[in-house]
Structure 1
Amino acid sequence: MMNLPNLLTLFRIFIIPIFVLLALLDMQSTCFGVPVKNILLCALFALAGITDYFDGYLARKLNVSSPFGAFLDPVADKLIVAVALIIIAVDNPQSLIIVLCTIIIICREITISALREWMASLGRRNSVAVSWIGKWKTTFQMGAIGCLLFKSHFFGLPIFLIGEIGLIIAAALTLYSMVDYLILAYQSEKNHHKES
């Protein structure tokens, strides 16, 4: 069970306390005008994103996929994303956009996790498998969070604004994919009753 892909997944969970501690530290030092704390937070989140890609890739490549890994991977993803969004929202309470998007994304993740658990208990987990919309949502979400953690302008680019726009797109895709999943689950349940 403790193969390399699963260890990479566990790594994402284990860095969460470090991530939170770093966010709480009062660091005043800068590097090229950018707060070192922002750089470290962004780098740590990017590292989590990289391990997310490689744990799935290695599990398929090494043929070591397991039920434990399939369970743990989305849990690790949701935890690191939720923690990062909460940190960003707490750091920017004046931004209604960030606060609302954070609430939407976290509530969606809880809803879909519960939905998948329910469908799995009925033996129809594949009825709510990850769609292309969910993958695009994840892409925008991860990029937006990285930008919002970095926060500062970089070579004249308004990184924070880019992050806000990305988060709005991610939240919109989040709502769309949630409705899509709920419709699929409803249709699956309806078809199941017809077959019964």
Structure 2
Amino acid sequence: MKLTLPTILTLFRIVLIPVLVVTFYLPYRWSNFVAAMIFTICAVTDWADGWIARRYRLTSAFGAFLDPVADKLAVTVALFVVVQSHPTIWLALMSAIIVGREITISALREWMAEVGERRKVRVAAIGKIKTIVQMVAIVCLVYRDDILGLPVFSIGEWLLGVAAALTLWSGLGYLRAAWPAFQADAGEHRNDPDDRRGDRENS
């Protein structure tokens, strides 16, 4: 398997995740700044590898699989360390919404691919806006300290709330797009005599 530049950037992003965790917990004044920069690099390379892959036609099956995995790992791990260091109901709830949605939509896309309807759950514009807000929120939460009197952590908390709301909105959009496939699949099972026989045997 030949590694393309986008795939190398994605692998680099995965390597940065444990570095982010270790840096976040280092007992130095600069650790929060470096951790925030590491997550920023993760966010930038997430955009860059996709752009490069599309611009120079360097797409691959492995890269298409790995890119969303790296993105979700970075976001999930960053939220975990933030909640662990600031265990509030607000942060825990917003983080649970974001992570739960990612798991749900990943499962939905996998199922839609199995039934040949993957194109119906492509990333929408609201999903891209959600990603931007989410990334900025996490950078603020990881950095933590005020800047020129601005309450960076509080800004991050509110932005995370906005990201969670956009997460629910976009998630409902994906489910709405997939609903006809759910109904069609349910109808096929109802009309399948083997399924009906199995239902009678299990009743």
TM-score (norm 2): 0.87
Q: 2:107 aligns with which of 114, 131, 138?
A: 114
Identity %: 47
Instruction: Indicate the SS of the match to 1:41.
Output: helix
CA drift of 1:12 comes to 0.8
Instruction: Indicate the SS of the match to 1:123.
Output: coil
Q: 2:31 aligns with which of 11, 30, 37?
A: 37
Q: 1:80 aligns with which of 52, 68, 74?
A: 74
CA drift of 1:103 comes to 0.7
Aligned to 2:12: 11
The one-letter amino acid paired with 2:40 is: A
Q: Which runs of 5+ in 2 are unaligned?
A: 192-203
Quote the Cα distance in structure 1 between the aligned partners of 2:92 and 2:163. Answer: 13
Quote the Cα distance in structure 2 between the aligned partners of 1:192 and 1:90. Answer: 41
Aligned to 1:24: 25
Quote the Cα distance in structure 2 between the aligned partners of 1:48 and 1:175. Answer: 24
Contact kept, 8 Å, 2:126 with 2:170, in 1: the verdict is yes
CA drift of 1:192 comes to 7.0
Contact kept, 8 Å, 2:105 with 2:174, in 1: the verdict is yes
Contact kept, 8 Å, 1:141 with 1:170, in 2: the verdict is yes
TM-score (norm 1): 0.90
1:48 aligns with 2:49: no
CA RMSD, aligned part only? 1.7
1:126 aligns with 2:119: yes
Deviation string 1:47-76 (CA, Å, 9 cap, x unpaired) is 111111110111112111112111111110
CA drift of 1:187 comes to 2.1
Contact kept, 8 Å, 2:25 with 2:31, in 1: the verdict is no
